């Protein structure tokens, strides 16, 4: 059996093939190298553009923040001025309240003093004859006002006076008679009994009469209250209609 031997490769061809492989691995194609370089340049260019855009956005955002801060500072200054004005107004109001309180206290002391001077002591009482005489005198005094103020006075039982007022209701109801009744007590003071139509401050007017003893002024005020009552009633009636 014969054996065939493989031919040995040519050493020169082997060396040539090895040298070609080393050259290819060491040096690239220039076109490929340029493409890679251009890709790197484009990449860094894109990074630069992105950084520029971010910087521009950041600058714009900072400008907006500065504008908003300036606006907020202006509004804060306005609020601070308003607070200062309110504090000044409160201070003035407090001073005014203190002044009014002082005036009120002074007025109250004056009224108390007048009451002490004009009011008889509670333990002091007058006889029925004295009271009757005073009522007669008061009736005569008020009688002088009847023609002027369109009124009439009646003396009732229990040391009371009844004042009748005519013409207070106006032309719509001229026949209505208004009245108020006062009692003259044992210490020589008037007491409110009743008032028709009702007068909200009737008791206060009677107290003022006790302080001043001015029956004429009392009659004027009561008559004015009666007329005002019917004026308001007519206004309400017209509004409802």
pLDDT one-digit tens code per residue, 68-107:
888 888 888 898 998 998 998 898 888 889 888 888 887 7
Residue 3: pLDDT band (50, 70, 90) is: very low
pLDDT for the residue 126: 45
Task: Kindly state the average pLDDT of the residues 16-40.
Answer: 65
Residue 140: pLDDT band (50, 70, 90) is: low
Report domain extents, the chain. 37-120, 150-238
Residue 207: pLDDT band (50, 70, 90) is: very high
Residue 28: pLDDT band (50, 70, 90) is: low
pLDDT for the residue 225: 93
> Where on the phi/psi map is residue 116: left (φ > 0), alpha (ψ -120 to 50), or beta?
alpha
Residue 125: pLDDT band (50, 70, 90) is: very low
Distance CA 88, CA 20 (A): 99
Strand order in the sheet with 190-196: 151-156, 160-166, 177-184, 190-196
pLDDT one-digit tens code per residue, 144-161:
667 677 788 887 776 688
- Choose the CATH number for 150-238 among 3.40.350.10, 3.40.50.300, 3.40.50.11610, 3.30.457.50: 3.30.457.50
pLDDT one-digit tens code per residue, 126-136:
455 555 566 66
Range of lowest pLDDT (3-12, 22-31, 53-62):
3-12
pLDDT for the residue 99: 82
């Amino acid at each position: 059996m014969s054996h065939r031997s493989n031919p040995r490769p040519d050493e020169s061809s082997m060396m040539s093939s090895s040298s070609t492989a080393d050259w290819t691995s060491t040096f690239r194609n220039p076109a490929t190298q340029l493409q890679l370089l251009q890709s790197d340049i484009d990449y860094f260019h894109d990074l630069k553009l992105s950084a520029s855009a971010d910087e521009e956005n950041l600058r714009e955002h900072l400008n907006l923040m500065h504008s908003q801060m300036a606006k907020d500072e202006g509004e804060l200054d306005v609020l601070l001025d308003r607070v200062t004005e309110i504090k000044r107004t409160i201070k003035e109001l407090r001073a005014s309240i203190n002044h009014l309180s002082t005036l009120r206290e002074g007025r109250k002391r004056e009224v108390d003093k007048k009451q002490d001077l004009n009011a008889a002591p509670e333990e002091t009482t007058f006889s029925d004859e004295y009271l009757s005489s005073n009522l007669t005198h008061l009736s005569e005094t008020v009688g002088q006002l009847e023609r002027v103020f369109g009124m009439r006075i009646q003396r009732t039982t229990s040391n009371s006076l009844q004042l009748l007022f005519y013409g207070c209701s106006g032309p719509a109801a001229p026949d209505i008679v208004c009245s108020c009744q006062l009692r003259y007590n044992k210490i020589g003071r008037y007491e409110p009994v009743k008032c028709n139509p009702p007068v909200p401050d009737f008791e206060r007017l009677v107290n003022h009469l006790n302080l001043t003893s001015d029956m004429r002024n009392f009659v004027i005020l009561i008559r004015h209250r009666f007329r005002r009552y019917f004026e308001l009633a007519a206004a309400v009636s017209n509004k409802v209609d």
